[in-house]
């Protein structure tokens, strides 16, 4: 029997087994639809309504290119939701990559690896891992994000300075509602729905472009309950609803920020090419790195123009700058230089950095590529900064003047 015949035979057996109860019970009651099918239809309707509601002039999205990139965002969010929530099991969680070069959301970063794990606030977990050479490692508990919900708060966070790291870089954390008698503790608040990990690297080749590299990381529930029965109709319907809930929340967050209608922190400038003072993420807003200072501004450039950014880096553990589209997604870092970390930056003789944002190579060091875009976002991260974080200063110049 070849593989094709085996698959056909197996599917026939499975179909016969599944059909047996139906033949005995006549037919499904049309007044009581299958919950999973209703949930799937609801997800499809949600995708349709999200396009109509958000990819529209009401959110300053009108051009064909902006709409197309919004459609791609929606698919990235759906992909992420399926990866996170369709098979999520907070009783026996696993760490799942948050973003990839082809799946981007929430301001991804070419110099960082992020992982997600669903948790229950009334359970205890043991996390084991290794720093793996990262410049910075942290673990954050997000509140309000259970079952695909949008996080409303970052309720707890620890970085590598709080870890008991072995000579080989290994560490262990207990995440639980009550403080353990010994070991490193990550508190789980009553609203805890997920743990997010962050691993930042300063390398000449950004870490996300290093195929196959993964941070060694595991999570196991302590005293887990017995294995549940196979998922039934209601259980799969609940998972599909979690997928829909995640896509809805992330779409709203991504579009509102790009349209300038969502709440923006003071460090996120709304003036093109002008930065405001860097600041820290507030824990009550969720999804932020509580150990970082941020600074961001939109760039708007005419034909043959460049944005030159200069300044001093603070005394910090990690720093980088990158370009996003309006939906908080990085530009193409697999084939272009759209970001710079400290190992990649160009520094002037006086020690200050100089970054050049332009649509084509200006022939000077420090260039990051806009992909020919006239507008987008410039985003800075500074981790564990000691003392004041200087504000980057930008100025628009012609490419001929720069050369």
Q: Which of 27-36, 78-87, 99-108, 219-228 has the lowest mean pLDDT?
A: 27-36
Of 166, 83, 170, the closest CA to residue 132 belongs to: 170
Do 214 and 315 lie in one domain? The reply is no
Segment 355-375 mean pLDDT: 96
Q: Report the pLDDT averaged over residues 310-321.
A: 97
Range with lowest mean pLDDT among 64-73, 110-119, 185-194, 204-213: 204-213
**Same-domain status, 38 and 116:** no
Whether the per-residue pLDDT at 283 is higher than 70: the answer is no
How many structural domains compose the chain? 3
Read off the pLDDT of each residue in 375-382 and give the average, rounded to a whole number: 97
Q: What is the pLDDT of residues 335-347, one digit of tens each?
A: 999 999 999 999 9
For the chain, helix (H) and strand (E) counts, in that order, are: 5, 19
Residue 7 covered by a domain: no
Q: Above 70 in pLDDT, residue 90?
A: yes
What's residue 290's pLDDT? 77
* pLDDT attached to residue 190: 97
Select from 296, 330, 293, 332 the least CA-distant residue to 314.
Answer: 293
Residue 192: the pLDDT is: 96
Mean pLDDT of 84-99: 96
Q: What is the pLDDT of residue 59?
A: 93
DSSP string, 154-223: EEEEEEGGGS---TTSEEEEEEESS--SSSEEEE--TTEEEEEEEEE---SS-GGGSTT----EEEEESS
- pLDDT category of residue 403 using cuts at 50, 70 and 90: confident
373 in the same domain as 295 = yes
Structure confidence at residue 16 (pLDDT): 46
Q: Same domain for 318 and 394?
A: yes
State how far the Cα of 343 lies from the Cα of 206, in Å rounded to an integer. Answer: 10
Burial class (CB in 10 A: 0-12, 13-18, 19+), 350: exposed
- Residue 308 reports pLDDT greater than 60: yes
Q: What is the pLDDT of residue 282?
A: 67
Contact 201, 114 (CB under 8 A): no
- What pLDDT is attached to residue 2? 57
Reported as a pLDDT band with limits 50, 70 and 90, residue 12 is very low
Q: Is residue 11 domain-resident? A: no
Distance CA 152, CA 12 (A): 47
According to the model, what pLDDT value does residue 264 have?
77
Q: Give per-residue pLDDT as tens, 124-176.
A: 999 999 999 999 999 999 999 999 999 988 999 999 999 999 999 999 999 99
Note down the domain range covering 98.
92-224
Q: Domain with 137 in it: what CATH number?
A: 2.60.120
Give the lowest-confidence range in 13-22, 26-35, 58-67, 278-287.
Answer: 13-22
pLDDT in tens, 30-80: 445 899 999 999 999 999 999 999 999 999 999 999 999 999 999 999 999
Are residues 220 and 100 located together in one domain of the fold? yes
Q: What is the pLDDT of residue 402?
A: 86
Shared domain for 297 and 382, answered yes or no, is: yes
pLDDT over 90 at 263, yes or no: no
What confidence category does residue 291 fall into, taking pLDDT thresholds of 50, 70 and 90? confident
Taking only the tens place, the pLDDT of each residue in 102-119 is 999 999 999 999 999 999
Q: Which one is predicted more confidently, 11 or 247?
A: 247
pLDDT at 260 over 90: no
Average pLDDT of the chain is 90
Say which CATH number the domain at 323 has.
2.60.120.1600
Phi-psi region at 60: left, alpha or beta (left = phi > 0; alpha = psi -120 to 50): left
Q: Is 25 within the bounds of a domain? A: no
pLDDT of residue 262: 58
Whether 398 has a pLDDT exceeding 50, the answer reads yes
Is position 68 within any domain?
yes
Q: Are residues 251 and 288 in the same domain?
A: no
In a domain, 40, yes or no: yes
Whether residues 38 and 102 share a domain: the answer is no
Residues 68 and 109 in one domain: no
Model pTM? 0.90
Examine the pLDDT at 230 and tell me if it is beyond 60.
Answer: yes
Residue 22 falls inside a structural domain:
no
Residue 204 has pLDDT above 50, yes or no: yes
151 and 207 both lie in a single domain: yes
Cα 278 to Cα 313: distance, rounded to the nearest angstrom? 11
């Amino acid at each position: 029997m070849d593989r094709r015949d085996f698959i056909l035979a197996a599917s026939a057996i499975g179909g016969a087994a599944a059909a047996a109860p139906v033949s005995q019970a006549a037919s499904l009651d049309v007044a009581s639809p299958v919950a999973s099918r209703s949930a799937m239809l609801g997800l499809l309707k949600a995708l349709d309504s999200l396009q109509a509601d958000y990819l529209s002039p009401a959110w300053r999205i009108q051009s064909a290119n902006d709409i197309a990139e919004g459609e791609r965002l929606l698919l990235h969010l759906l992909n992420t939701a399926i990866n996170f929530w369709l098979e999520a099991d907070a009783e026996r969680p696993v760490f799942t990559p948050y973003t990839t070069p082809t799946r981007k959301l929430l301001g991804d970063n070419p110099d960082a690896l992020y992982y997600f794990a669903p948790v229950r606030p009334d359970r205890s977990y043991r996390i084991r891992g290794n720093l793996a050479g990262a410049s910075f490692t942290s673990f954050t508990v997000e509140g309000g994000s259970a079952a695909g919900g949008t996080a409303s708060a970052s309720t707890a966070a620890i970085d590598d300075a709080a870890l008991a790291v072995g000579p080989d870089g290994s560490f262990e954390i207990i995440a639980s509602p009550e403080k353990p008698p010994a070991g490193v503790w990550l508190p789980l608040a009553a609203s805890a729905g997920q743990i997010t990990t962050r691993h930042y690297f300063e390398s000449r080749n950004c870490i996300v472009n290093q195929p196959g590299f993964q941070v060694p990381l595991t999570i196991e529930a302590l005293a887990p309950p017995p294995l549940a029965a196979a998922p039934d109709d209601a259980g799969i319907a609940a998972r599909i609803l979690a997928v829909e809930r995640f896509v809805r929340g992330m779409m709203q967050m991504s579009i509102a920020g790009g349209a300038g209608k969502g709440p923006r922190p003071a460090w996120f400038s709304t003036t093109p090419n002008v930065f405001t003072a860097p600041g820290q993420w507030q824990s009550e807003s969720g999804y932020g790195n509580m150990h970082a200072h941020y600074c961001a501004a939109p760039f708007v450039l005419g034909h043959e123009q460049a944005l030159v950014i200069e300044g001093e880096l603070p005394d910090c553990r990690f720093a980088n700058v990158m370009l996003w589209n309006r939906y908080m997604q990085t530009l193409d870092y697999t084939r272009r230089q759209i970001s710079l970390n400290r190992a990649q930056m160009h520094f002037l003789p006086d020690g200050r950095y100089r970054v050049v944002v332009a649509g084509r190579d200006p022939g000077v060091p420090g260039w990051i590529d806009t992909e020919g875009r006239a507008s987008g976002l410039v985003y800075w991260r500074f981790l564990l900064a000691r003392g004041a974080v200087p504000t980057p200063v930008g100025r628009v110049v012609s490419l001929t003047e720069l050369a």
